[in-house]
Chains A and B, each alone.
Chain A
Amino acid sequence: MINIQTFRKLGAACTLTFLSVFALTLPALAEQESHEGEEHEGAHIELSAEQIEHAGITLEKAGPGMLFETLKVYGSVKPNPEHSQSITARFEGQITSFNKSIGDTVKRGEKLVTIEANDSLQRYNLIASIDGVVTQRQANVGEQTNGRTLLKIDDLSNVWVELSLFPKDLEAVSIGQQVRVQDKQGAILAEGEISYISPIAQTDSRSVTARVPLENRQRTLIPGSFVVGQITLSQDRVPLLIDKQAIQIVEERSVVFVKGHEGFEPREVELGRSDGLSIEVLDGLQVGETYVAANSFVLKSELGKEDAEHGH
């Protein structure tokens, strides 16, 4: 950009050279325009109520609040092995009838299969010892049992969600933490607790498995399907919590704009834990102080605008 000062000076130089030389004695002096010196603003930014409104700034009071820290991990639904039954023949024999087929619900104590034992030629029944659903059937009427698993009953009202935890996650995750299970589109399926973290890692992904046993009365959790788990790492009441939008990085330091008597003051703060929305302040801010929450960037911009330039 053409510097006006330059123009003035050069203009003065040229014009006055003409004048002075032609008039032989004209010792003309270029009048120095007083530079409109803009003092670099101190620590305070003063804004009128009108300006605050124009800028869309919202003010909040710092105070105690709840902090929810979460961790997102992936996993899959498994049938609960403690709630399944493989039906095998007690005495080898020929199957004479099947009462249940794949997909049928069974009640505890219900008769499942009738077998005629090879040795005694006695018929006996195989009884379900859990409630559940028939998920496998390997044999048909007339076949020999031959030590096979004939039926498999799984109690799907109780499933496990197995989540993959990576080494860095392990520090934060512990047994008893709450987990919200979502499908891959993000819809919430169930909520439960971590009951077990495997002590052995997988060899190729180095991940360990965390188990969340869940009730599945509605059958929304389909074993084998892919799920996303949101683990609540902590759920604490912290003494000083502020809106995360309030934090601006100024000269590589975290700063919150605090309302004082003379305007807004950028104050360096020490930050603690954070969830997606709020952040804990450890030092630099007092309970009850008013700070800029939404659009705090405008203040950062105001603070730095003296240096804003359009370089080429």
Chain B
Amino acid sequence: MIDKLIMFSLTRRWLIMFLVLIVAALGVWNYQKLPIDAVPDITNIQVQINTEAPGYSPLEVEQRVTYLVELAITGLPYVESTRSISRYALSQVTVVFEKGTDIYFARNLINERLQQAKSEMPSGIEPVMGPVATGLGEIFHYAVHAEPDAVQDNGEPYDSTALRTLQDWVIRPQLRLVPGVTEINTIGGFEKEFHVTPTAAQLLAYGLTFDDLVGALEANNANVGAGYIEKNGEQYLIRAPGQVADLSEMGNIVVATRDGLPIRLSDVADIGYGKQLRTGAATLDGKETVLGTAVMLLGGNSRTVSEAVASKLSAINKTLPEGVVAEPVYNRTVLVDKTISTVQTNLVEGALLVVVVLLVMLGNIRAALLTAMVIPLSMLMLMTGMVQTKVSANLMSLGALDFGLIVDGAVIIVENCIARLAARQHELGRLLKRSERFETVFAATREVFTPSLISVLVVILVNLPILALTGVEGKMFTPMAMAVIMALLSALVLSLTFVPAAVALLLTGRIQEKENFIVRSAKQVYRPVLEAALSLRIPVLLGALVFIGVCVGIASRMGTEFVPNLDEGDVAIQALRIPGTSLTQSLDMQFQLEKAILELPEVKTYFSRVGTAEVASDPMGPNISDGYVMLKPRAEWPEPNKTKAQLLEDMKAKLALLPGNAFEISQPIQLRFNELISGVRSDLGIKVFGDDLDQLLASGSEIAAVLNDIEGAEGVKIEQVAGLPILSVQADREALSRYGLNVAELQEVVAAATGGEEAGLVFEGDRRFAIVVRLDESLRNDLAELERLPIPLPGGQYVPISEVASLELAPGANQISRENGKRRLVVSTNVRGRDLGGFVAEAQRQIEDKVSMLPGYWLGYGGTFEQLQSASQRLSVLVPVTLVMIFALLMVTFGSARDAALVFSGVPLALTGGVIALWARDIPLSITAGVGFITLCGVSVLTGVMMVSAFRDRLRQGMDIDEAIRSGAMLRLRPILMVALVAALGFLPMALNTSTGAEVQRPLATVVIGGIISSTLLTLLVLPGLYLMVNRSTDFTESDHDR
């Protein structure tokens, strides 16, 4: 079949060229559609259901909202797991779907069920699904602020309420329309509200209640349409407007009549603009601000979307009132551009180096160019493949591509064709006829096709274990493996079709038969060295073995990391304070923090979100803040060469001065990922499921005690579910009954006084603002005042709250976590100094023995040990299978286990070079380095197969074994050197680059370059000797491997 394909390509070469053109065009077209981002998206398929329940404490939220939502989604198809948290005023249920589920389908399913659940919830409470976005979604942040001297229409300076109003009603509606944006999330400032604030005494004096005020407001603030009448042939529409327009109209509303006199609202309450009870705030450089975040629709192209948002924002800026600015503070385009330009530079420079190598080694510009053509062509084919398989272009997926490896197959084919054509010309002493040329090209391609096929197959095989990774690791590295495999397959197809066809078309003239200077001198050097290596083969072999041993030692001592962190260029600081910290306190502490960090000369701006934003995609308590530190361009730093690590140290030193905060330093995208995919983050998490929170905590403490006694446990932690100070107004039912009151009447007074009661809306054009009746701010915060609040009695009398209820301040539930429909508490621990599996087994045994669970309570074991176990299980099956398959492949090729083993033996030595190179550059082992080792396997097998098959060919032709090895090795010197040089030089820019994103590619490139040097040395020096040793005594007979 392969023969036919090559033949077809030769005879129908123009057709092939045309097809290649079409494929290229398709690639260009697909490139436009390819989602480009800086890093791979590691978010799972999840739908968040957020429900705001203003005023509800965690317990009430769980009971009245979360449970209902969970109940509604139980039994949906394709659901992998659900988890929920119930916090103050917010319920968030996260539904994780199975891999591959269509997100819109999933949302539809949920939507259907939510409709049912809604009817059972308290009125006014509405579950809403979070935006259709992933962890990469937050692509653009902007801060709305006013110049110090800017004033509003009424002459007052802009406060955070005014800015928030502009954001909500001017900026946000416009930005939401930008294609690719699914949500504009707002945090900070205060939503404007109209506040009616009576004092208790005022109400008491007139015998009024909160309800009377709310009722009066509601009854005097509505427009009514009243149909139409016909008059003299005309039709008059009738409306009865009754909405209040402003504060003074509101104040004139009559609440009650006493002794024939109307009591107006303004007589019993102060009326003014007020501030909402907010759950979050935003800061910019030590001051409060209003922060907007553009969230990109799932699957969008972050670069184009954030560019569109930026240009829309600058257009909006022109329409804002004078002195008010919406300033971009974070734009994803910057990072993506930097990353992509790093990848591009590396690829272009690599490709150029490859062309130069080809030119020098082949001495034929046409051949060099046509080989180099394989690079862009296979890239374009890869683009098509990536769009089809929904792999996004990013540092990971494109970063592992090595042009050297891609063109290897083409290189050896072209090299062989040139050698053969030159030889044939020399033989015939004239230019070749077309048929002769085709024949030669066919034979030359056919001859070296096997090694190139095998090298590709080997690389694909070694990539298989990576494809088997699941979870976060899978999401991160599968695209990488997919891209490599697709690029190699493309190159393979091209080298079978395009390369022979192009060779046949282009290499028509006289082919230089003489090798150029470089190859000649290489051969001159190689000949004596090979002789020496052959005669000293045993010491050489022993030397190689010792070398491998040394490298094993080095490798075992090397540091490891999972994946080198992509430097996003900016820093994220999450500051955590103890639960129960108030928003105001948290903000004060945040201001201090920002001022301290801004003292660093490298910092441009620092903005943060404290607490929960309007769309609660990340439900943080007010005690937590997500801060983003934007750095100046390096050129503006006082020391442009300062490393990021040094800068982080400086930051930590500054942060250490601020007591009361704990910090987690990461990077903006990383932070968001962490928030979205969080599960149990320790090695072992023991989940206690049950009903009673106290019992859960008690069991959790017992388990923690048991864990602490087990050797190897470190950092045992019980999930922090309590600690939120809660002031309970405990009704004294007996006292209430003496006064003829119901609990509800007490609750109403408490709720209206502190939380406030909504009493309709005020419309200003499109804008609508809530009217809220509640106690004055100064009184709300006074516990003594709360105790004395009068509850109206049926007879017009009153009784203070303290008579019928007691106020108890006690720490209560901070948040209630649930998993798969049950309350859950996690006890987590890390394991140090012993194997995880053994630890988990012992922990399970000990907990079973020592902790007795009440009926209705059960345990679940989770944590990263699950991933580790499943990953190592997979790998322990797949890696041997892969090895057997590679060996089988070589067996089939050579028809001889011995030769297969010979080629196979080259792999360890190839890897040693990689290890040495990493060690020399002080780079830790990582998965990307691992991918480098995979590439090395391919190259090593390729050169090994080329070498061994050359020996075998010569032996088959009846040559003496010594002679066969010598001439075979000399013949293969050029292609092996070319393959090695091409692969190594192709990675050189990647290894040396230091710009954004380079840190991910550097280990890979380093490994390949180091490994190729050792692999080439092995193939050229050790392999011939080894082959000689193994085959000397054997009487070589023809095997039937030729297919």
Contact = CB atoms under 8 A, between A and B. Distances in A.
Interface of A: 1-19, 21-33, 35, 37, 45, 47-48, 50-51, 54-56, 72-74, 166-168, 184-186, 202, 204-207, 226, 228, 249, 252, 276, 297-312
A310 B681 CA distance: 11
B738 interface: yes
B784 A72 contact: yes
Contacts of A73: 788
Contacts of B830: 5, 35
Contacts of B592: 54-56
26 contacts: A2-B681, A5-B864, A6-B683, A9-B560, A10-B562, A10-B864, A11-B925, A12-B925, A14-B466, A17-B875, A17-B876, A18-B879, A27-B556, A29-B556, A31-B556, A31-B560, A48-B657, A55-B659, A72-B785, A166-B800, A205-B797, A249-B725, A299-B659, A300-B578, A309-B576, A311-B719
Given A8-B560, A185-B199, A302-B659, 9 more contacts: A9-B864, A14-B871, A14-B930, A25-B548, A166-B803, A303-B578, A304-B578, A304-B723, A311-B720
Q: Which 7 A-B pairs have the closest CB atoms?
A: A7-B562, A11-B562, A301-B660, A1-B674, A184-B201, A226-B205, A12-B560
User: Interface of chain A, helix or strand or loop or mixed?
Assistant: mixed
Given A167-B803, A184-B199, A252-B811, A297 B798 contact: no
Contacts of A56: 588, 592
Contact of B911 (A19, A31, A32, A226): A19
B579 A11 contact: no
Interface in B731-788: 738-739, 784-785, 788
Contacts of A168: 802-803
Contact of B552 (A27, A55, A186): A27
B559 A31 contact: yes
Contacts of A22: 883, 907-908, 911, 933, 937
A145 B870 CA distance: 108
Given A2-B472, A24-B908, A55 B872 contact: no
B237 interface: no
B883 A28 contact: no
A22 B867 CA distance: 23
Contacts of B195: none
A45 B201 contact: no
Contacts of B784: 72, 276
B557 interface: yes
Given A184-B205, A308-B578, A311-B720, A1 B678 contact: yes
A21 B880 contact: yes
Contact of A26 (B552, B662, B720, B934): B552
Nearest to B620: A310
Nearest to A25: B552
A230 B1028 CA distance: 109
Interface string B982-1021: 0000000000000000000000000000000000000000
A54 B561 contact: no
Nearest to A76: B205
Given A21-B879, A252-B810, A37 B714 contact: yes
Interface residues of B, number: 110
B910 to A, nearest CB: 9
Nearest to B42: A2
B563 A298 contact: no
Contacts of A31: 556-560
A276 B785 CA distance: 11
A308 B201 contact: no
B911 A23 contact: yes
Contacts of B790: 74
B793 to A, nearest CB: 6
A187 to B, nearest CB: 11
A305 to B, nearest CB: 4
Contacts of B675: 1, 310, 312
Interface in B652-689: 657-662, 664, 666, 670, 673-675, 677-678, 681-683
A18 B204 CA distance: 80
A264 B793 CA distance: 50
A260 B557 CA distance: 46
Interface in B56-96: 83, 85, 94
Interface string B924-968: 011101100110010000000000000000000000000000000
B528 interface: no
Contacts of B797: 202, 204-205, 207
Contacts of A1: 664, 666, 674-675, 678, 681
Contact of B715 (A28, A35, A184, A308): A35
Given A1-B674, A2-B677, A47-B659, A308 B559 contact: no
A21 B556 contact: no
A228 B784 CA distance: 14
A239 to B, nearest CB: 24
B577 A308 contact: yes
A118 B871 CA distance: 120
Contact of A35 (B556, B714, B809): B714
A297 B660 contact: yes
A10 B868 contact: yes
Interface in B577-615: 577-579, 581, 585, 588-589, 592, 596
Contacts of A276: 784
Interface in B833-871: 833, 836, 864, 867-868, 871
A15 B558 CA distance: 12
B651 to A, nearest CB: 15
B471 to A, nearest CB: 9
B933 A8 contact: no
Given A18-B934, A299-B660, A10 B867 contact: yes
Given A22-B933, A28-B556, A35-B832, A2 B657 contact: no
A186 B201 CA distance: 9
Contacts of A50: 657
B524 interface: no
A24 B912 CA distance: 12
A312 B867 contact: no
B657 A9 contact: no
A188 to B, nearest CB: 14
B560 A15 contact: yes
A312 B556 contact: no
Contacts of B879: 17-18, 21
B677 A26 contact: no
B182 interface: no
B868 A297 contact: no
A54 to B, nearest CB: 5
B811 A8 contact: no
B574 A310 contact: yes
A194 B674 CA distance: 65
A298 B817 contact: no
A297 B574 CA distance: 19
A135 B624 CA distance: 65
A178 B723 CA distance: 41
Contact of B662 (A5, A16, A228, A308): A308
B623 interface: yes
A14 B875 contact: yes
B563 A11 contact: yes
Contacts of B908: 22-26
B795 interface: yes
A166 B817 contact: no
B177 to A, nearest CB: 32
Contacts of B730: none
B202 interface: yes
B519 interface: no
A309 B575 CA distance: 10
Contact of A28 (B466, B552, B578): B552
Contacts of B911: 19, 22-23
Contacts of A21: 879-880, 883
B355 to A, nearest CB: 32
Contacts of A54: 592, 596, 657-659
Given A2-B674, A299-B659, A308-B576, A23 B875 contact: no
